[in-house]
Amino acid sequence: MSSKLTSSQQKTICSQLGRVKLQLLYKASIHGFTGAAFHQRCDTHCPTVSVGYNASGYVFGGYTQQPFSQSGGYVHDDQAFLFTFSGEKLLKYPVTTPANAVRMIVNSGPYFGEALVLANGSKAVVYTNPGQYYTFTAAEMHGNDLNLTECEVYEVEAIPEFEKPWRPVVWENERRIEMMESIKIYCPVSGSVSRLRVLLIGPVGAGKSSFFNSINSVFRGHVSNQAIAGCSTTSVTTQFRTYSMKAGRGGKPLPIILCDTMGLEESTGAGLDVDDIISILKGHLPDTYQFNPSAPLHSEASGYRKSPGLEDQIHCVAYIIDACKVSIMPAKLEQKLEAIRRKVNLIGIPQLVLLTKVDEACPLVSQDIRNIYRSGYIEQMMQEVSARLGVPVSCVVPVKNYSKEFELDQNCDILLLTAVIQMLRSADGYFDDLSDRLSNIETKVVKL
């Protein structure tokens, strides 16, 4: 029994409900547009999402936490809501009278108050009465097309947690200190590079600047906000910035430079210009270069490096992705990320994904960050972002940036330091590959 609700639509609905997935219970085209068929398949199941489809292309329905029955009465549900899709966007209409959220009628399908009924009177039609316990407009909900082509009901299933972490982590202060020391003494395998450069790329608000601030905080010993970070809908970062870090105030520079860019935006001509990526990767962009979303960098720009060395180039790319928005990432934004990934692949630079805001995405992780690898929901998000960006799950690293805290947290530090160590390891692999390629070229020249 295949779902008519697309994968993208399912993810959008699930994003409203937490760590859940949808399991199809009833499909009217198979089981029948009758109240009897609906109740046989759906009674006692909860929570549920009911979805109607019409020939005009509208996809609409409702959610309830309460199990369906044939009692004939109303059921209280203060979490119930109706919805419709406008393109990829979900329009949501919460119940206004919770006591009348759902009605249990024998000869009809899903019956939300007196506002929306799917398969009304055991017929493939919709009954609608906006304002009766839910507020919406009929034209917006279903385009006034009351004939159903399909009706489906899904049970909402919680994604379980794992008894044991599926990726082991040592949550001890000794491990934290050991990781910090290994970063401090790290030396790139390439003799021509003293500090490796990591480019941070991600949508607006995903946490690029906050990641630098968080790593800087770990080595400073207190929460620091050197890079400008915020919650604007447009990029707070407007310049290309290269951030060096020190091992404590007045300490030696760490062997890594984090390069921050403008945030990616969905619309054309806004945010980071994809064509600037190659210039950044090859080391042409000077620090503090002012981005122009409507025009890519040209070779005559002030400070443009015409002959950058390996030291100036990018040695690892880290995509910063908000865990709360993986399932609802706009198609145009995903296309931009795909275009960037292709450019990075052409050069052969290693790529990682840092999954931020994991505590906001998952209540289990919010309770205790050490549950990160016990959360089935976070594992699912990691697998999804892996598939969307074309990187292995082993290259996806969840982190929690410091954003509202005054004091450091040992467990957050361990996740952040793990991300940095993965960057160092990836860059080493890149330098090894460069060395092998150079060696092969020299061998061919000698043979000639």
Mean pLDDT of 24-48: 96
Inform me whether the pLDDT recorded for 189 exceeds 90.
no
Looking at per-residue confidence, does 234 or 347 come out higher?
Answer: 347
d(CA 384, CA 85): 22
In this structure, is residue 166 part of a structural domain? no
| Mutual angle of helices 208-220 and 410-447, in 10-degree steps | 110
Instruction: Tally the domains of the chain.
Output: 2
In this structure, is residue 233 part of a structural domain? yes
Inform me whether the pLDDT recorded for 442 exceeds 60.
no
What is the CA 215 to chain-centroid distance, rounded? 21
In this structure, is residue 165 part of a structural domain? no
CA proximity to 158, closest of 2, 7, 358, 17: 17
Position 103 scores a pLDDT of 95
Compute CA distances 407 → 175, 177, 331, 433, whole Å. 19, 17, 38, 40
Inform me whether the pLDDT recorded for 362 exceeds 70.
yes
In this structure, is residue 168 part of a structural domain? no
DSSP three-state, residue 157: strand
Q: Which residues lie closer than 8 Å to 243 by C-beta, 6 or more apart? A: 212, 216, 226, 227, 257, 258, 259, 260
pLDDT tens, residue by residue, 367-404 = 999 999 999 889 989 999 999 899 999 999 999 999 88
Count CB-CB contacts under 10 A for residue 223.
18
In this structure, is residue 422 part of a structural domain? yes
Looking at per-residue confidence, does 275 or 94 come out higher?
Answer: 94
d(CA 146, CA 271): 42
Residue 385 sits in the same domain as residue 237: yes
Residue 289 sits in the same domain as residue 178: yes
Confidence of residue 226 (pLDDT cuts 50, 70, 90): confident
d(CA 213, CA 207): 10
Residue 183 sits in the same domain as residue 288: yes
pLDDT tens, residue by residue, 401-431 = 998 888 999 999 999 999 999 999 999 999 9
Confidence of residue 227 (pLDDT cuts 50, 70, 90): low
d(CA 256, CA 213): 14
In this structure, is residue 167 part of a structural domain? no
DSSP three-state, residue 408: coil
DSSP three-state, residue 165: coil
Residue 375 sits in the same domain as residue 254: yes
Residue 275 sits in the same domain as residue 352: yes
Query: Which contacts of 224-231 are long-range, i.e. CB under 8 A and separated by 24 or more positions?
Result: 227/260, 229/403, 231/205
Residue 114 sits in the same domain as residue 229: no
Residue 350 sits in the same domain as residue 298: yes
Final residue in a domain of this structure, among 158, 184, 213: 158
Average pLDDT, the chain: 88
Position 234 scores a pLDDT of 47
Residue 373 sits in the same domain as residue 250: yes
**CB 83 within 8 Å of CB 60:** yes
Position 267 scores a pLDDT of 67
Position 304 scores a pLDDT of 76
Residue 206 sits in the same domain as residue 329: yes
Final residue in a domain of this structure, among 113, 129, 158: 158
Q: What is the CATH number of the domain that holds 178?
A: 3.40.50.300
CA proximity to 397, closest of 411, 381, 374: 381
Residue 66 sits in the same domain as residue 35: yes
d(CA 407, CA 409): 7
Inform me whether the pLDDT recorded for 232 exceeds 60.
no
**CB 108 within 8 Å of CB 120:** yes
Final residue in a domain of this structure, among 134, 158, 182: 158
Mean pLDDT of 256-272: 78
Inform me whether the pLDDT recorded for 446 exceeds 70.
no
pLDDT tens, residue by residue, 135-182 = 999 999 999 999 999 999 999 998 888 888 999 999 999 999 999 999
Residue 199 sits in the same domain as residue 121: no
| Structural domain that includes position 437 | 173-447
Strand partners, 59: 53
Residue 264 sits in the same domain as residue 384: yes
Inform me whether the pLDDT recorded for 233 exceeds 60.
no
In this structure, is residue 357 part of a structural domain? yes
Position 236 scores a pLDDT of 52
In this structure, is residue 164 part of a structural domain? no
d(CA 234, CA 79): 32
d(CA 428, CA 190): 8
Position 295 scores a pLDDT of 61
